Amino acid sequence: MISRRVLLKKLTGLPLVGGLFGAGIIVPNPVQAAPLRRDYFKELGVRTFINAAGTYTFMTGCLMRPEVLDAYNYASNEFVILDDLQDKVGERIASLLHCEAATITAGAASAITLGTAGVLSGMDADKVVQIPDLTGMKSEVIFQKSHRIGYAHAIRNCGVKIVEVETKKELEKAINEKTAMMWFFNGNNFVGEIRDTEWVEIAKKNGIPTFNDCAADVPPVENLWKYTDMGFDLVAFSGGKGLRGPQSGGLLLGKKKYIQAARLHAAPRGNTVGRGMKVNKEEVLGMLATVESYLNRDHKKDWDLWEGQIKMIHDAAASVPNVTPEIHVPKVANHVPSLKLTWDQAKIKMTPNEFRQKLRDGHPSIETIGGADHVGITTWMMQPGQERIVAKRVKEALEMV
């Protein structure tokens, strides 16, 4: 005979739910609570913010889309030969973007250095190791003066001399036997005197390879093949801007002979100018998912969303007396609906810098851009719904002075 006490003791060890012999004995089946997500930024004391500014590197670029994160995490669980993956991903991306060849780089600046190095060395292994010593090699790269921005250092890494020109006449005079490449900054296409098509035309006439830095130039989606179709030999895009991929990823597109040569300067090879510009399997596969995801998006739907969001913030600002909001779309680079905000500072006694600081110091923190005379706002890097918060805070900040 088993005593009642022993029977109950045995039953409590069984995973039963419900009654036994009508006795109404219930043994709970405990549900494990989901582990709390660790808040690293809060733990470290690093403040997050609503991005009303855009895809700036110092603001950590963009937020990757879920399908990109899936590819990134998938890659982290397996080993592959890096060059094999670069080969296959490059072939796939080239077929998607209508160019001869492609490779994944550590951002657009890395693409510029690797592409320049590839133009200088070709497939000559000795020259690969020799760079940045250009003894016996072509050593000059031509820029328009208005296109010389901070990223020119990515070219100077290779040891070249930069030759600046302003007019077509100066360009044709500057081309000589030392000219290795003609470089173009797409964001300033309407600033310099020589436009993109004419730049390519002059280069081709003289047998000089061309490079177009298009880092921030999607949208529109067709820019991903527009410039290689135009005749640029190499084109660079950032992965962590409008494409919404890894901030540490980029695209180098163009002629196969230059892409192959650029690869000789990239990891896993060690004794090269590009060794420190490493991308691993996660960035490579993540960039493939980025391109596929971007091509498959409903771009009109995205545009309509951004227009609606920027209109909401515009209307909130316009409701404040003495404020002049203006919606505009930059011609190139960050080509999205944007807001330029100005006000009569004699009546609203606050500078744009003070306004930006107000938004930054509030809760949640909001980052905007602009200069000493205006505040710039975009919505394309916001999470849906954040535009309402920004509209409310913009109105409050302007009214509280």
Per-residue pLDDT of the chain (401 residues; tens, 9 = 90+): 455 444 444 444 444 344 433 444 455 555 666 678 899 999 999 999 999 999 999 999 999 999 999 999 999 999 999 999 999 999 999 999 999 999 999 999 999 999 999 999 999 999 999 999 999 999 999 999 999 888 889 999 999 999 999 999 999 999 999 999 999 999 999 998 999 999 999 999 999 999 999 999 999 999 999 999 999 999 999 999 999 999 999 999 999 999 999 999 999 999 999 999 999 999 999 999 999 999 999 999 999 999 999 999 999 999 999 999 999 999 988 999 999 999 999 999 999 999 999 999 999 999 999 999 999 999 999 999 999 999 999 999 999 87
Q: Does this chain's domain 49-56+299-399 share its CATH topology with 79-295?
A: no
Decide if 352 contacts 371 (C-beta within 8 A): yes
| pLDDT the model gives residue 18 | 41
Backbone angles phi, psi at 138, to 5 degrees: -60, 145
Sheet with 250-254, edge to edge strand ranges = 101-105, 250-254, 234-238, 210-213, 179-185, 140-144, 161-165
Closest CA to 123 of 271, 268, 277, 257: 257
Class of 49-56+299-399 per CATH?
alpha beta
Write out the chain in H/E/C secondary structure. Answer: CCCHHHHHHHHCCCCCCCCCCCCCCCCCCCCCCCCCCCCHHHHHCCCCEEECCCCCHHHCCCCCCHHHHHHHHHHCCCCCCHHHHHHHHHHHHHHHCCCCEEEEECCHHHHHHHHHHHHHHCCCHHHHHHCCCCCCCCCEEEEEHHHCCHHHHHHHCCCCEEEEECCHHHHHHHCCCCEEEEEEEHHHCCCCCCCHHHHHHHHHHHCCCEEEECCCCCCCCCHHHHHHHHCCCEEEEECCCCCCCCCCCEEEEECHHHHHHHHCCECCCCCCCECCCCCCHHHHHHHHHHHHHHHCCCHHHHHHHHHHHHHHHHHHHHCCCCEEEEEECCCCCCCCCEEEEEECCCCCCCCHHHHHHHHHHCCCEEECECCCCCEEEECCCCCCCHHHHHHHHHHHHHHCC
Widest CA span of the chain, in angstroms?
A: 110
At position 241, the amino acid (one-letter code) is K
pTM: 0.89
**Any idea where the domains of the chain sit in the sequence?**
49-56+299-399, 79-295
- Name which CATH class applies to 79-295: alpha beta
Query: How high is the pLDDT of residue 31?
Result: 60
**Tokens 């405990």 appear where?**
30
265-289 burial: b if 16+ Cβ within 10 Å, else e? bbbeeeebbbeebebbbbbbbbbbb
Rg (CA), the chain: 28
